[in-house]
Amino acid sequence: MDFERHLSHAARAMHASAIRKAGDVGLAVRDVISLAPGYPDPSLFAWDEIRDIARSILSGADPTVLQYGATRGYKPLIDALPELLNHRGITATPDEIIITTGSQQALDLCARVFIDAGDTALVELPAYTGAMTSFWNAQGHLVGVQQDAAGIDIADLDRVVLRERGAGRRVAFVYVVPNFQNPSGLLMTLGRRAELLAWASARDVLIIEDDPYGALYFDDVAKEGETRPLKADDREGRVVYLSSFSKTVAPGFRVAWITAAPALVARLEIAKQSADLCTSSIDQRFVYEIWRQGVLESRLSGLRAAYQRKRTVLEEALRRELGRHVTWPEPKGGFFLWASFGGGIDTDALLTRAIAHGVVFVPGSAFYVEPHHLNRARLSFSAPPPAQIEAAAVRLAAAVREEPEVRGRSGQEPPAGLAAPRTALESRPPE
């Protein structure tokens, strides 16, 4: 049977996730250390409390725990979220909230509710792959916008929107991750946030603000106030705000949420009915109880400290092992370090060498709208224990030493930390 003929054009064009692919490599190779997926550290999950909660919610006293639930979500959790959002400066009512099966579903629902085939969706350069695949799968026309150290570049954004509209395309939205962006780790400045909101209002563009990492700022270099979401200052309902319990509670529970204007939430709800009817009832109870019992709040400072330590371990190991061969913007929170290697290093090729040395990461090309061979890589420091992060840096350095551009520096001493025996292989000029 010719299966290809039975596929929709949409399916034939669908993008597989480069992150998931790199993650699979991590699983398939023995003893590999993975810096690829943005997984939280399971040793930081509240195992004891979750076990206690399981006993109480599964007593049978409440039969709805294992029943289908409302599409909008478990009502007590929806009613609790305004308080949690209030800590972030956001004023919201329950009719502005819908629970989603992870933030990936939130992105997918936004894609379906805001994008028609051919509409333009604007993303940062680089941007989160998972969001891009959702926008692509809704047959959106993705266009990248430059960002600098302060966040998305408003002048470039304006140029792009005028160009797209000039070409007759509807601009569905601009998608941003202001807090510890995936993959760059960048923290958008408060000034840039204000500019972005004002610009969006002037140009009548919807903003999708994705904020999975905001609670995980590193207090040696960032303040909580710097993570204030765009949504907190949204007076028009222009911002569709996404956040999740995956990084702060556990991603094995697929529970996230969208906060948006009631008219938009109503549409997202209809889209969710046909997507999966409802999010797991029991997962929502777990998350609700973890919030209600204060477990979430009481653990946040510990989570911040733990991820901050891991970031420091990775930064120090990279400096020691790779010296000037790698640079990065300092991660002020979140899970990611966005590494730039020497100009001649192609991280897609480097990945193959890295796997041979037992370490895996996501090449920068995964985070761009257009296929790029790039000298960037996303290194996730969130999941592995510190000793593994150190070992990963040693392995990565060994892979970098095999790069033609590094091996080919004839007449120069190898830089500190790269003093490995020369191989007999011929050097190739960098591409």
Restricting to residues 183-222, name those near a copy of itself by CB under 8 A.
206
8 or 410: CB nearest a copy of itself: 8
Q: Smallest gap, in angstroms, from Cβ of residue 387 to a copy of itself? A: 16
| β-bridge pairing 256-259 and 171-176 | unpaired
SS3 308: helix
Q: Smallest gap, in angstroms, from Cβ of residue 208 to a copy of itself? A: 11
Q: Which of 4, 31, 370, 413 binds a copy of itself (CB under 8 A)?
A: 4
CB atoms within 10 A of CB 248: 22
71 or 347: CB nearest a copy of itself: 71
| Residue 333: CA count within 13 A, CB half-sphere | 29
End-to-end Cα distance, the chain:
43
Stretch that binds a copy of itself, among 5-13, 79-87, 157-165, 178-186 (CB under 8 A): 5-13
Cβ–Cβ < 8 Å for 396, 359: yes
**Phi and psi at residue 59, in whole multiples of 5°?**
-65, -20
Write out the binding residues for a copy of itself, residues 83-122 only, by CB under 8 A: 101-102, 104-105, 107-108, 111-117, 119
Q: Smallest gap, in angstroms, from Cβ of residue 218 to a copy of itself? A: 23
Write out the binding residues for a copy of itself, residues 148-187 only, by CB under 8 A: 172-173
150 or 300: CB nearest a copy of itself: 300
97 or 350: CB nearest a copy of itself: 97
Q: Smallest gap, in angstroms, from Cβ of residue 8 to a copy of itself? A: 4
Closest CA to 173 of 149, 147, 148, 138: 138
Which tokens go with 1? 């049977």
Cβ–Cβ < 8 Å for 142, 132: yes
Q: Which of 86, 91, 93, 273 binds a copy of itself (CB under 8 A)?
A: 273
Facing residues of 259 across strands?
97, 241
CA distances from 339 to 18, 183, 389 (A): 17, 10, 15
Stretch that binds a copy of itself, among 181-189, 275-283, 352-360, 372-380 (CB under 8 A): 275-283
Q: Smallest gap, in angstroms, from Cβ of residue 286 to a copy of itself? A: 8
Write out the binding residues for a copy of itself, residues 25-54 only, by CB under 8 A: 27, 37, 39-40, 42-43, 45, 47, 50-51, 54
Burial-class residue 101 by CB neighbours within 10 Å (0-12, 13-18, 19+): buried
| β-bridge pairing 326-327 and 336-341 | antiparallel
58 or 194: CB nearest a copy of itself: 58
207 or 222: CB nearest a copy of itself: 207
> Is 236 one of the binding residues for a copy of itself (CB under 8 A)?
yes
Total residues contacting a copy of itself by CB under 8 A comes to 89
Write out the binding residues for a copy of itself, residues 47-86 only, by CB under 8 A: 47, 50-51, 54-55, 58-60, 63-71
Draw the binding track, 402-421, toward a copy of itself (x: CB under 8 A; -: no contact): --------------------
Q: Smallest gap, in angstroms, from Cβ of residue 315 to a copy of itself? A: 25
As a whole number of angstroms, the distance between CA 192 and CA 213 comes to 18
Instruction: Concatenate the DSSP letters of all residues of 197-230 into one string.
Output: HHHHHHHT--EEEE-SSTT-B-TTT--GGGG--G
133 or 365: CB nearest a copy of itself: 133
| β-bridge pairing 239-244 and 256-259 | antiparallel
Stretch that binds a copy of itself, among 209-217, 270-278, 340-348, 351-359 (CB under 8 A): 270-278
149 or 266: CB nearest a copy of itself: 266
With both helix axes pointing from N to C terminus, report the angle between 295-322 and 281-292 in degrees, rounded to the nearest 10.
90
SS3 sequence of 65-107: HHCCCCCCCCHHHHHHHHHHHHHCCCCCCHHHEEEECHHHHHH
161 or 172: CB nearest a copy of itself: 172
Q: Smallest gap, in angstroms, from Cβ of residue 382 to a copy of itself? A: 11
Q: Smallest gap, in angstroms, from Cβ of residue 423 to a copy of itself? A: 36
DSSP H helical ranges for 167-280: 190-203, 262-276
Stretch that binds a copy of itself, among 89-97, 142-150, 243-251, 306-314 (CB under 8 A): 243-251
